[in-house]
Amino acid sequence: MKIEKAERLKRLPPYLFKEIDRQKEEVRAKGMDIIDLGVGDPDLPTPPHIIEASQRAASDPANHRYPSYSGMHDFNAAVARWYQRRFGVELDPGEEVVTLIGSKEGIAHIPLAFIDPGDVVLVASPGYPVYHIGTQFAGGEPYYMDLLKENGFLPDLKVISQESAQKAKIMFINYPNNPTAAVATREFFESVVAFAEEYNVIVCHDAAYSEMAFDGFRPMSFLEVQGAKSVGIEFHSLSKTYNMTGWRIGFAVGCTDVINALGQVKSNIDSGAFQAVQIAGITALEGDQACVEEMRQTYAERRDILVAGLHAAGLSIEKPRATFYLWVEVPQGYTSAGFASLLLTEAGIVTTPGNGFGAAGEGYVRMALTVDRDRIREAVKRIEGIGL
Site residues for ligand PLP per CB under 6 A = 40, 102-104, 128, 174, 178, 206, 208, 237, 239-240, 245, 250
Shortest separation between residue 346's beta carbon and ligand PLP, angstroms: 28
Nearer to ligand PLP, 292 or 388 (CB): 292
Burial of residue 363, with CB atoms counted within 10 A of its CB: 0-12 exposed, 13-18 middle, 19 or more buried: middle
Shortest separation between residue 248's beta carbon and ligand PLP, angstroms: 7
Shortest separation between residue 82's beta carbon and ligand PLP, angstroms: 15
Centre a 10 Å sphere on the Cβ of residue 21 and count the other Cβ atoms it contains: 12
Burial of residue 191, with CB atoms counted within 10 A of its CB: 0-12 exposed, 13-18 middle, 19 or more buried: middle
Shortest separation between residue 249's beta carbon and ligand PLP, angstroms: 7
Q: Find the angle CA(167)-CA(173)-CA(176) to the nearest 5 degrees.
A: 170
User: If DSSP codes are grouped into helix, strand and coil, which group holds residue 78?
Assistant: helix
Cβ neighbours for 141, distance < 8 A, ≥ 6 positions apart: 118, 119, 120, 121, 135, 167
Measured in Å, how far apart are the chain's first and last C-alpha atoms?
A: 53
Q: What is the DSSP string of 41-54?
A: ---SPPPHHHHHHH
For residue 87, which of 223, 214, 254 has the smallest C-alpha distance? Answer: 223
Nearer to ligand PLP, 99 or 275 (CB): 99
Shortest separation between residue 261's beta carbon and ligand PLP, angstroms: 20
Centre a 10 Å sphere on the Cβ of residue 368 and count the other Cβ atoms it contains: 24
Shortest separation between residue 226's beta carbon and ligand PLP, angstroms: 25
For residue 130, which of 143, 147, 148, 111 has the smallest C-alpha distance? Answer: 111
- Expressed in percent and rounded to 5, the helix, strand and coil fractions of the chain are 45, 15, 40
Shortest separation between residue 163's beta carbon and ligand PLP, angstroms: 28
Nearer to ligand PLP, 237 or 283 (CB): 237
Nearer to ligand PLP, 234 or 313 (CB): 234
